Structure 1
Amino acid sequence: MYSTRISVAALLALVPFALAAPATTSATTTSDSAAATSSTSTPSAPPLRSHPTSISHGPFHGTATTTGALTAASGILGTAISSLPPNPNATTYPSDGKLHDPQPAPYVPAGGVGTNGTPPVYNAKSDFDYESLALALYQEWIELDLFHNGLARFSVEDFQAAGLTAEDRFLIEFMADQEIGHATMVSNILGAQAPQQCQYNYPYTNVREFVDFCQKLTRFGESGVYGFLGHLDSREAATLLLQSITTEARQQMIFRQFEGLFPMPVWFEVGVPQSWAWSLISPYIASCPANQTRLAWQNFPALWVLNQPNPERINGSSGFNETISAGMNTMNATVPSNDSCINATTVGENCNPAITHNRTIPLSFPGRKVYFEWETPGKAVGPNNSYITSSEAGSPKFVAWVTQLNVTYSALTLNGSNSTAGWTTQPNVSTYQGDPAINGTMFVAITDDNPFLTPFNLSLINPHVVAGPALYQSG
């Protein structure tokens, strides 16, 4: 196992934008020379990326100087990615438990990527890599600010009223510190044009709404990376990003526990396309610095779940129009006291912060009628109102339920002649026996078709998305 001294020095030597190293260590040290360093020396840790400790918040006021997603100067080759047959060699490996090729070294089976002894270079290796990692950095920056903002906006008494103690607040502060490290790591991979921290506009008005906003934002922050991680050309960058996103997964679970939800009600965590994550995050980015790195991803029209299950209620499905924003569909925590699960004394009803709760009345259930409303394309959103929502889809016909390993469709019934509102019935589907697929904090979208897709090619759904995605608090 490599020592911390060697791995840090090697990493700094190979990323293209390592921040200035302290005087006591060299940013160009190789692993060989690091190994020769005295074992008694204590090298300084590489520095963090600088970031503002205090920024203003609120909506953007002004006129965008640039609009639309980033596009290639060399043009766009087609209208969509075509579906192709599988690679002819995709199923040739016999999978019989035996070794079929000479081993390159003792105890090492043949195959794998990046296993031939070539030193890793932690950089972007394609436009896809750069745009995906830049999206991840936008996510890390907003999480860093979000966690700090909640701690600054609400008083100790506000947190205590929501059942959160000084130790809980310290955990939120520690999670903000984690985001500084994540932002530094991704910035080092991207280089000098890595996106900077922006200014943000949050809809929450109390601690419970803040916690719900955090657990939903960390949900699509995690799922947005899972969606592209396996597709990165840079396997080296994918390795580092995986090590950060596993921490993000723990953050999402913590916020579920703060909200009084069951911490991990699914067997598999879902991955979604980059344009889904960008559509969800961009409405809360008010403005960014001049010459900020722009993104190529699509912004879809926003989607509301009108009867979004409300975790603040004893019967979460009984509310209507109890969200404070589209897309994320953050809950409105102001419900009648006799319907609130906060401080409820009956077993199975209480939703105070806890390691775990098991609700007697589930937040949602198969057969539930779910109502939607969505925007039409053409709205200015995102940093400096400089991105425009769009859709290439036809008429709305289906609701796509994207959860765990499943993409399931249910028929959409429009509200009469209204082409931007409708309802569907929550499907009854399982990932495997004993695991209801529709559970946890998951994703829904309005589509014009129901193409068969799996987790690895889910981005092919994008040309069919009429509106969305939205987060559905199914459990």
Structure 2
Amino acid sequence: MYCQGLFVGFAGIALAAPAPTPTSSDYYSASATNVPVQSAPPVVDVHNVTSHGPFTGTPTTTGALTTTFLASVIPALPPNPAATTYPSDGKLHDPEPAPYTPNGGRDTNGTLPIYKPKSDFDYESLALALYQEWIELDLFNWGLATFSDDDFSASGLGPEDRELIRFMAQQEVGHATLITNILGAEAPVQCTYNYPISTAREFVDFCQRLTRFGESGVYGFLGHLGSGEVATLLLQSITTEARQQMIFRQWSGLFPMPVWFEVGIPQSWAWTLLAPYISSCPANQTRLAWQNFPALYVVNNPNSNRINPNRTGDYETNGNSSSAPATITNVTASENCINATIIGENCGPAISHNRSLPLSFPGRQVFFSWEDAGKPVGPNNSYVTSRAATAPNYVAWVNQLNLTYSALTVTGPNSGYTFQPDVSTFEGDPAFNGTMFVALTSTNEFFSSYNLSMINPNVFAGPALYQAG
């Protein structure tokens, strides 16, 4: 079965006075004395993270941020009775509040916008997004500092490409500043991180995976934010991150945008994927309320570095995490697609590649392994994985507008397999393409994109990233 839909979160923002409008003569006689200059607000405090690696201390706090529970789960309710009353006949049905202004919409009555969270949901969603912006800022700078020019050149990336990575890091300074200003004094700050990367090629692939769940994590809550003002600003930042993800895919030799729709995932899914890479944070760091699920591994995840990406060894693309990059170190020269000269086999950096052998295909047998609940993860090992589901019965495949289930055959205490379904979003658009998400669930209950977070009580393990194309 599958379903279709979409879903994702400043003390206030200072609005500067408009600059004087220059006249035509200003453009021809501009000088240091007559060019209008408008001071810019400062960026958030950023420092170079000099320590990387796993956390080795003892956590002083464990578990997600929490308060009193009103219920064990959010009950499923029928649609709002007013949801289907609008006739959708192309005509206007109410008086216009002003010329050329159809009636309706949220916050369209002229009220001054205030860029602040309006609920715990807003704040926690934005705090998660800020954790994501901070790790991207560090990752981009870490990659440039760790790998030499020759390392990047061996992956087909030159000095101009490295400069683009440096500019992406500057973009993350802006994104972190925006969200920090929205959240205020208790906004999360930079942490230290741990990356499962050994080559420049793996760095680029890991970047395309990290930006995938960062982008999808925001899409999952964006439409649910109580503050439409904040949602507008966050949308303007996440569209930049979408461009980053596309560039990293191109540098990985992958088709830049092999889907018709970008997928949104719940906050707890994004936090589950992100937390293992955060080693430690300051002791007074703002904590998150989202759940950490037990890790899920795709044992035979396709390796995009191979001419035949399905001829992959066990855990070749997993390492110690469910979104680790596709390794290149154990791919022989004859199997390596980076320097292949045949069109359809080469996977070096390019605007676009068509692969003769697809990364995955309907009917492919996909093997999984998973961890038990109760493992410490995340900053200072201070969060603990948990689940409410009691058994893994299905594999949930989440991509584009689709939630698709396939039966899981359990082969051991923490292992099993399924077969990749054959599903299209619309005719001509295979739903399984790109960097997508899989999770193990106890039921095959129907959800759509806008309420996908209601699947969380059914999640047994995951999500993991599945490299379908």
* 1:270-289 alignment runs, 5 A limit: 270-289=263-282
CA displacement at 1:395 relative to structure 2: 0.8
Which of 381, 393, 396 lines up with 1:400 in the alignment?
396
Which of 372, 375, 379 lines up with 2:375 in the alignment?
379
For residues 445 and 239 of structure 2, the distance between their equivalents in structure 1, rounded to whole angstroms, comes to: 30
Q: What is the percent sequence identity of the aligned residues?
A: 67
For residues 98 and 378 of structure 2, the distance between their equivalents in structure 1, rounded to whole angstroms, comes to: 51
1:468 corresponds to: 462
| Uncovered stretches (5+) of structure 1, i.e. residues with no partner | 1-14, 19-26
| Amino acid paired to 2:281 | C
For residues 325 and 309 of structure 1, the distance between their equivalents in structure 2, rounded to whole angstroms, comes to: 16
Give a deviation string over 1:421-458, Cα, whole Å, max 9, x none.
00000000000000000000000001000110110000
| Amino acid paired to 2:46 | H
Are the counterparts in 1 of residues 49 and 192 from structure 2 also a CA contact under 8 Å? no
1:197 corresponds to: 190
For residues 400 and 284 of structure 1, the distance between their equivalents in structure 2, rounded to whole angstroms, comes to: 24
| Amino acid paired to 1:381 | V
1:238 corresponds to: 231
Are the counterparts in 2 of residues 401 and 445 from structure 1 also a CA contact under 8 Å? yes
Pick closer, same or farther for the CA change 1:376–1:46 going to 2, 3 Å. same
Give a deviation string over 1:234-271, Cα, whole Å, max 9, x none.
00000000000000000000000000001100000000
Q: For 2:437, what is the secondary structure of its paired residue?
A: strand
* 1:196-235 alignment runs, 5 A limit: 196-235=189-228
Is 2:445 the partner of 1:445?
no
Are the counterparts in 2 of residues 329 and 470 from structure 1 also a CA contact under 8 Å? no
CA displacement at 1:306 relative to structure 2: 0.4
Is 2:55 the partner of 1:60?
yes
| Uncovered stretches (5+) of structure 2, i.e. residues with no partner | 1-9, 23-34
Which of 6, 11, 14 lines up with 1:16 in the alignment?
11
CA displacement at 1:347 relative to structure 2: 1.2
Are the counterparts in 1 of residues 396 and 438 from structure 2 also a CA contact under 8 Å? yes
* 1:159-198 alignment runs, 5 A limit: 159-198=152-191
CA displacement at 1:333 relative to structure 2: 1.4
Is 2:122 the partner of 1:122?
no
Which of 356, 363, 372 lines up with 1:360 in the alignment?
356
What is the CA RMSD across the aligned residues, in angstroms? 1.2
Are the counterparts in 1 of residues 255 and 352 from structure 2 also a CA contact under 8 Å? yes
Q: For 1:90, what is the secondary structure of its paired residue?
A: helix
Is 2:257 the partner of 1:259?
no
Give a deviation string over 1:205-237, Cα, whole Å, max 9, x none.
001111111000000000000000000000000
Are the counterparts in 2 of residues 305 and 329 from structure 1 also a CA contact under 8 Å? no
2:407 corresponds to: 411
Are the counterparts in 2 of residues 329 and 472 from structure 1 also a CA contact under 8 Å? no
Are the counterparts in 2 of residues 224 and 272 from structure 1 also a CA contact under 8 Å? yes
Give a deviation string over 1:295-314, Cα, whole Å, max 9, x none.
00000000110000000000
User: Could you tell me the TM-score, scaled by structure 1's length?
Assistant: 0.92
User: Could you tell me the TM-score, scaled by structure 2's length?
Assistant: 0.93
